[in-house]
Amino acid sequence: MRLVPNALAQRSAPWTQVQDAILSDAALRAAHQVVSSWDGYAPTPLHALPGLAAQAGIASLHIKDESGRFGIGSFKALGGAYAVAQVLAQHPSPADIVVTCATDGNHGRSVAWSAQRFGCRAVIFIHETVSQGRANAIASFGAEVRRVPGGYDDSVRIAADVAAREGWHVVSDTSWPGYTDVPRNVMQGYEIMAAEAFDALPAPPTHIFIQTGVGGVAAAVAGLAKRRWGDARPCIILADPTGAACWADSFFAGKPTVAQGTVDTLQAGLACGEVSELAWDILKDHGDFAITVPDHLVGPMMRQLAAPANGDPAIEAGESAVAGLVACLSADGAMRHAIGLGPASRVLTFATEGATDPALYRSIIAGDDLHA
Ligand SMILES: Cc1ncc(COP(=O)(O)O)c(C=O)c1O
């Protein structure tokens, strides 16, 4: 594991106008009003894990459990679906609209689910290593699924190119120069998860560990933490898979940087080689550290959560859901010292998905750590 401090971030950094144009209390209220009106909306549970807190030598540990979100199994139901709703709000006849995106699995499922719900068409691009189970889940919502060569970042570009040719609406969870409106809505939707968690905590956290793909959800969590607690905000630690460490590499370089290596990881939802520009705008000031999380620690953590022997509640957490928890529990003495983690710490983390690929989940819980 590698700990990379972000030299640009400071607790006293102001919340800037640029940041407020991306995420704001007004935008969160608007997103909450829309999403909470949908059938099936309910805040997901926040669990206290006293057994794991004792194991980590900290005062408390809470985990937000997204496995039951809208029945599609991840927090991504809040983001892509809200962005689709925003696109359709500007178009009177949804049946004439095609929404499209690239996905590692969960974002595409959210877009496909909402397209079916709201009556438009969806075409979802997946890359070479997205599991067939995840492809089938997306198709089950009536979406057309297209598998394309390369990795996630290639599929993002292919989706955008095809959409430009066909006149489709790109609903991407990542942003790039000139494409920010939709991913901003996606991140505003994610803030609902952060707000639910913060509201349910018995005391403000001292540390938040949150896993990163393109960084959208981490930016949403960090942004709300800054707005809610100001300079007293918790230390924000991003948990990046070792095999796709674009946030660790970007913090190291002090600027957005493409991840080194093959961008291949068991943590499929986090397999992104490039940070989102909007997320960078927030996290450069309000994200303090990145810790890299190797795949071989993921299966053991999933199994411990699934069948705790310490009195903690059991939690169904998928391969991309546990990096934050692993970073908290596996940080060595030097890392703990650097991030100020100790007996007085109150940690918040997020189990961002459940068994979104049930066959894969079952095999990992049964002890098969695949290529980890
Ligand atoms: C389960 C899960 N957790 C975390 C993330 C990371 O989100 P982001 O790409 O916004 O950083 C993803 C992304 O797909 C995901 O599927």
Residue nearest atom 7 of ligand 1, based on CA coordinates: 213
Q: Provide the total of helices (H) and of strands (E) in the chain, helices listed first.
A: 15, 11
| 92 CA distance to ligand 1 middle (Å) | 31
At residue 54's C-alpha, the angle toward residues 51 and 237, to 5°, is: 100
Q: Which CATH class is domain 76-181?
A: alpha beta
Question: What is the pLDDT, as a whole number, of residue 45?
Answer: 98
Place of tokens 């303090």: 288
Question: What is the pLDDT, as a whole number, of residue 211?
Answer: 98
Considering the chain, tell me which residue range(s) the CATH 3.40.50.1100 domain(s) occupy. Answer: 3-75+187-365, 76-181
Res 370 pLDDT > 70: no
Q: What is the pLDDT of residues 198-239, one digit of tens each?
A: 999 999 999 999 999 999 999 999 999 999 999 999 999 999
For the domain made up of 3-75+187-365, give the CATH fold: Rossmann fold (3.40.50)
Question: What is the pLDDT, as a whole number, of residue 260?
Answer: 84
Q: Residue 365: exposed, middle, or buried by beta-carbon count in 10 A (0-12, 13-18, 19+)?
A: middle
* Confidence band, pLDDT 50/70/90 cuts, at residue 18: very high
Q: Which has more confidence, 210 or 264?
A: 210
Ligand 1 contacts CB of residue 64 (under 6 A):
no
Res 372 pLDDT > 90: no
Question: What is the pLDDT, as a whole number, of residue 263?
Answer: 81
Pocket test for ligand 1, best of 72, 320, 353, 357 (most atoms within 8 A of CB): 320
Which atom of ligand 1 is found nearest the CA of 211?
Answer: 4
Element (H, E) at 124: strand 121-126
Structure tokens at 55: 């194991």
Ligand 1 contacts CB of residue 76 (under 6 A):
yes
76 assigned to active site? yes
Res 244 pLDDT > 80: yes
| 345 CA distance to ligand 1 middle (Å) | 25
| 216 CA distance to ligand 1 middle (Å) | 8
Residue nearest atom 3 of ligand 1, based on CA coordinates: 352
Mean confidence (pLDDT) of the chain: 96
Place of tokens 């990046």: 240
Question: What is the pLDDT, as a whole number, of residue 371?
Answer: 54
Question: What is the pLDDT, as a whole number, of residue 20?
Answer: 98
